[in-house]
Amino acid sequence: MTVKHSNRRYSEITGRAVLYAILIIVAIYYLIPLVIMISTSFRDMNDIRFGHLIDLPSSFSFEAWRMAWSEVQIGARRQLGLRPYFINSLLITIPAVTISVILGAVNGYVLSFWRFKGSNIFFALLLFGCFLPFQAILLPQATVLGKIGLSGTIPGLVLTHVVYGVAFTTLFYRNYYVSLPGELVKAAQLDGAGFWRIFWRIILPLSTPITVVAVIWQFTQIWNDFLFGVAFSSPQSQPVTVGLNNMVNSSTGEVRYNVDMAGAIIAALPTLAVYVIAGKYFVRGLTAGSVKG
């Protein structure tokens, strides 16, 4: 028994060691590009030009970060940094996430507890919106934005992301709410509570896990969007993804690897921070409504 127990213990330790070794190798493989990006962003172009791109910097410099963020003069040409685009992305993302999450919560609440004739068809049509590719709505959306006077504006981009994202948030909330006991709503109705009071006092306080999922999903989708940003914006309303593309492709002559890398990190920082801070809540929220009761 002792020998069998020792062999089993040895096998468990060996298997765990092999698993951790594989995970470490995979993590290193995926982190190498990020390490190279960060290292290059702190290097001087002379250091990059006469050295190797993947070498560690001989000295740290924040000049590339300043150039990527602020407007700088390069010879006779003025290069616009990412700051105005970054602000545009904030002005687009924050209201679009807020509105789409609220609409999704209300839609999910209605479709779960206040069913009406044709509610299943309505939900199916909303669900169909999740599978529409971006390219399929470019021309219709451009026509609508032009007719209502929002073409090339930040409110127009907010409206676009709300319309496209509300199908996803409705799906999230509806699937979560059907796992909640319907007796909660029935008991509140017997006590005289109405539609909005039940929603604000009972349903919404129970919605924290799925709200985190919806916010992270929408924030990531909207912040990283490029197609809507380049199709429906003007030079004054372009988001940070379009600004990064403009900065990288507008370089003339020598390619400034350090500035491009710094700009890419700046553009990715908000979504990276969201996942680092709230990533575990995202996973919990996805599984919170998987088991009814």
> In a 3-state reduction of DSSP, which class is residue 72?
strand
Q: Report the C-alpha gap between 137 and 97 in whole angstroms.
A: 20
State the Cα angle at 237 between 246 and 226, rounded to 5°.
55
Do residues 193 and 255 both lie within one domain?
yes
Nearest to 110 by CA among 100, 97, 120: 120
Q: Report the C-alpha gap between 290 and 293 in whole angstroms.
A: 10
Packing angle of the helix pair 154-177, 83-113 (nearest 10 deg): 40
Q: Residue 277 sits in which domain range?
A: 83-288
Q: Is the pLDDT of residue 288 over 70?
A: no
Do residues 38 and 180 both lie within one domain?
no
Do residues 201 and 157 both lie within one domain?
yes
- Whole-model pTM: value is 0.84
Q: Mean pLDDT check: name the lowest of 78-82, 149-153, 173-177.
A: 78-82
Residues paired with residue 233 on neighbouring β-strands, in sequence order: 152
State the Cα angle at 86 between 85 and 91, rounded to 5°.
95
pLDDT tens sequence across 33-62: 888 888 888 888 777 766 566 666 677 788
Total domains, the chain? 2
Do residues 207 and 138 both lie within one domain?
yes
Given 47, 78, 109, the domain boundary residue is: 78
pLDDT, residue 14, reads 82
Do residues 144 and 233 both lie within one domain?
yes
Q: Mean pLDDT check: name the lowest of 206-220, 240-254, 279-293.
A: 279-293
Distant-in-sequence, close-in-space partners of 288: CB < 8 Å, separation ≥ 6: 176, 179, 209, 210
Query: Structure tokens of 147?
Result: 């007719």
CA atoms in the 13 A half-sphere facing the CB of 222: 33
Domain annotation covers residue 28: yes
**CATH number assigned to the domain comprising residue 105:** 1.10.3720.10
- Is 233 or 95 the better-scoring residue by pLDDT? 95
Given 28, 52, 78, the domain boundary residue is: 78
- Is 292 or 252 the better-scoring residue by pLDDT? 252
- Is 51 or 208 the better-scoring residue by pLDDT? 208
Do residues 259 and 224 both lie within one domain?
yes
Do residues 217 and 119 both lie within one domain?
yes
Taking the alpha carbons of 27, 260, 232, 159 in that order, is the dihedral positive or negative? positive
Do residues 151 and 63 both lie within one domain?
no
Q: Mean pLDDT check: name the lowest of 68-72, 167-171, 208-212.
A: 68-72
Do residues 199 and 250 both lie within one domain?
yes
Do residues 262 and 194 both lie within one domain?
yes
Given 50, 78, 106, the domain boundary residue is: 78
Do residues 34 and 18 both lie within one domain?
yes
pLDDT, residue 293, reads 43
Do residues 61 and 91 both lie within one domain?
no
Q: Is the pLDDT of residue 243 over 70?
A: yes
Query: Structure tokens of 29?
Result: 């493989």
> In a 3-state reduction of DSSP, which class is residue 136?
helix
pLDDT tens sequence across 86-120: 999 999 999 999 999 999 999 999 988 887 888 88
Q: Is the pLDDT of residue 244 over 50?
A: yes
Helices (H), the chain: 2-41, 45-50, 63-69, 83-113, 119-129, 138-147, 154-177, 183-190, 195-198, 208-223, 227-231, 240-249, 257-288
Packing angle of the helix pair 83-113, 119-129 (nearest 10 deg): 160
Taking the alpha carbons of 275, 93, 214, 198 in that order, is the dihedral positive or negative? positive
Packing angle of the helix pair 257-288, 2-41 (nearest 10 deg): 140
pLDDT tens sequence across 252-272: 556 788 888 899 999 999 998
Domain annotation covers residue 38: yes
Taking the alpha carbons of 158, 86, 265, 254 in that order, is the dihedral positive or negative? positive
State the Cα angle at 202 between 198 and 203, rounded to 5°.
90
Domain annotation covers residue 293: no
Q: Report the C-alpha gap between 99 and 219 in whole angstroms.
A: 12
Domain annotation covers residue 257: yes
